[in-house]
Structure 1
C-alpha cells in the first residue's frame, strides 16, 4: 500500500512543520548548510534596504549557526521585528533560518513519519532517510553532477533563473496579503503540496532513489531555494522600510 499517497488525501491529512517538533528531535535543523547558505546569499544580494553590516561575516557565521527552538515558526516571524535591534546579526541569521526551513517541503510533512525522517531509503547506494535526501543529498548530488562541486556556481545559476525564466513570478513570490511582513502560512501550504506531489511520491520505505527521482526533484529544490531567498529579501525590505519610516516620524 502506498501510504504517503493515501495520507496526502485532504480529508485524512495531518501535517506538521518539522521545526515545531519537540526536543525529542534535536537534530532536525532544516535545509543542510549548503541550502541555508544559498538562501541567505540570494537574499542578501537581492535585498535593497539593509543596515550597515558586514555581509561576508554574516554568511560565515550563518554556516555554523545552530538553531534549537520549539516555538511556532509563525510566531517567530511575527515577533522578529520586535527584537531586531537587540542583536542585528543574530536576528538576521535567526530569521533566515526559519524562512529557509519553511520552504523545504518535508518540513511540512506527516506526523506519522516525522516529515520523512522515519522513511529509510537508499540514495543511490547510500542508506539514509527521505528527510535527509531533501535537506542535503539532492543538493550534494547536483553540486557534483552539474556544478563542479562549487556552491557559488549553483547559486549563480539559481540567480540567473530568478532574473530570467522566473522573472515574471517574482512579484507573486514576494506578495503578502494585508501588508503583512511575511506570510509563512502560504509558504507552508506550498510546501505540503510539493511534499505530496514530489517528496513522498515513489519514496516508500526501503526504496532506492536514483536518477529519475533526482533529476525530477532537483528543479523543485532549486526553485524553493530561489523562493526562500527572494522572500527573505522582501521580508527584510519590509522590516527596514518600516523601521526607517518610524524613525523619520519620531
Structure 2
C-alpha cells in the first residue's frame, strides 16, 4: 500500500525562492501545464484551487508550479528530490511500478508516480474541512501539479545509469547541453523563439487550440479516461519511457550536435506531452474537488 506523507506548514519564503536551477519541464513547461489545467477546471475545483493558493499567487496556479523544483535541495524538503523522476533499467524500455518506483536506498513508492498518488490522496481529505490538520493541502496541490508535469516529461522516466539523459553531454545547435536538458527546456525555448516571438501566451493558445478543435481533438477523451489513479499513472509513465526510447535516446551519442532534424521531429512530441499533462491534471483536480464526490477508487 502506498504510504501517505505528512507535510509541515508551508514556508513563508515560498514566494521568495532564490534557487535558479530547474528540473523536470523548464519553468515554461510547468507554467503551460498548470495554465492549461486551470483553464479546464470545473467551478468547484476552480474554487478549491483558488482557496488553497496563497494570496500573493493572485489565484494563478502556474505562478507556483515550479516551486517543488526550487526547494528540493533545501534541507527541509530534501526528501522530495527522488519524487521528480523514475529510473528504469538501462535499455529495457519498460516501466513497472513494483520494480522501478523506489529511491536509491530502495525505499518503495519514492518516485514521481508514487508522489502523485500520495498527494492526490491527501487532497481527497480537502472536503473534510479545516478540522483535518493531518496534511498541508497547499503543498499537496503544488506538488501534485508539478509532478503531473514531470511524469509527462519523457526523460523523467529514463535509464538509471545516465540519470535520464543528464550525463549524456550534447550540443544543442551552438551551445553545450545534455540530453535531459534538451527535453526539459531546449526544445521549448527554441520553439518559442522560432515560432512565437518568445510569447508564452501564443504558444499556450496553440496548444489549447490543438485539443479543443485541432489535431488532438479526437484524442482528448482517451487522455482523460481514469477510474483508478495508480493504473493511470503507470500508463503515463509507460508512455514516457516509450517516447524516451523511441525519440529521446535513439540515435543520440555523447558529444553529438543536435539541431534542426532533432528539433523538428521531437518538438511536436514535447508539445503534446505538455498538453496531455495539463488535461490530465485538470481531470484529477476535477475528480478530487468536484461536487460529485466521486474521487478515485485508489485514493483513500
Aligned equivalent of 1:41, options 35, 38, 43: 35
Conservation of the 8 A alpha-carbon contact between 1:102 and 1:188: yes
TM value normalised by structure 1 = 0.81
Please identify, of 141-150 and 68-77, the stretch whose mean Cα deviation from structure 2 is larger: 68-77
Asked if residue 98 in structure 1 is aligned to residue 147 in structure 2, the reply is: yes
Q: C-alpha distance in 2, partners of 1:42/1:87?
A: 24
User: Structure 1 unaligned runs (5+)?
Assistant: 1-26
Which residue of structure 1 aligns with residue 275 of structure 2?
Answer: 226
Which residue of structure 1 aligns with residue 122 of structure 2?
Answer: 83
Structure 1 position 59, deviation (Å):
2.3
Which residue of structure 1 aligns with residue 224 of structure 2?
Answer: 174
Where 1:128 maps in the other structure, the secondary structure is strand
Structure 1 position 64, deviation (Å):
4.2
TM value normalised by structure 2 = 0.68
Structure 1 position 201, deviation (Å):
1.8
- Residues 180-209 of structure 1: per-residue CA shift (max 9 Å, x gap): 135211001001111111111222111100
Structure 1 position 62, deviation (Å):
2.6
After superposition, the CA RMSD in angstroms is 2.1
- Residues 32-63 of structure 1: per-residue CA shift (max 9 Å, x gap): 10000100000000121413416644322334
Structure 1 position 245, deviation (Å):
5.9
Asked if residue 123 in structure 1 is aligned to residue 172 in structure 2, the reply is: yes
Misfit runs of 4+, over 6 Å: none
Aligned equivalent of 2:26, options 23, 32, 39: 32
Q: C-alpha distance in 2, partners of 1:90/1:61?
A: 10
Where 1:103 maps in the other structure, the secondary structure is coil
Distance 1:28 1:34, change over 3 A: closer
Which residue of structure 1 aligns with residue 206 of structure 2?
Answer: 157
Conservation of the 8 A alpha-carbon contact between 1:36 and 1:97: yes
- Residues 222-250 of structure 1: per-residue CA shift (max 9 Å, x gap): 0000100000011111111377469xxxx
Conservation of the 8 A alpha-carbon contact between 1:123 and 1:209: yes
Which residue of structure 1 aligns with residue 190 of structure 2?
Answer: 141
Where 1:31 maps in the other structure, the secondary structure is coil
Q: C-alpha distance in 1, partners of 2:170/2:156?
A: 18
Where 2:290 maps in the other structure, the secondary structure is helix
Conservation of the 8 A alpha-carbon contact between 2:35 and 2:61: no
- Residues 97-137 of structure 1: per-residue CA shift (max 9 Å, x gap): 11110111111111121110010000001011000000000
Structure 1 position 214, deviation (Å):
0.4
Which residue of structure 2 aligns with residue 20 of structure 1?
Answer: none
Q: C-alpha distance in 1, partners of 2:172/2:39?
A: 33
Q: C-alpha distance in 2, partners of 1:245/1:174?
A: 15
Please identify, of 141-150 and 46-55, the stretch whose mean Cα deviation from structure 2 is larger: 46-55
Conservation of the 8 A alpha-carbon contact between 1:29 and 1:67: no
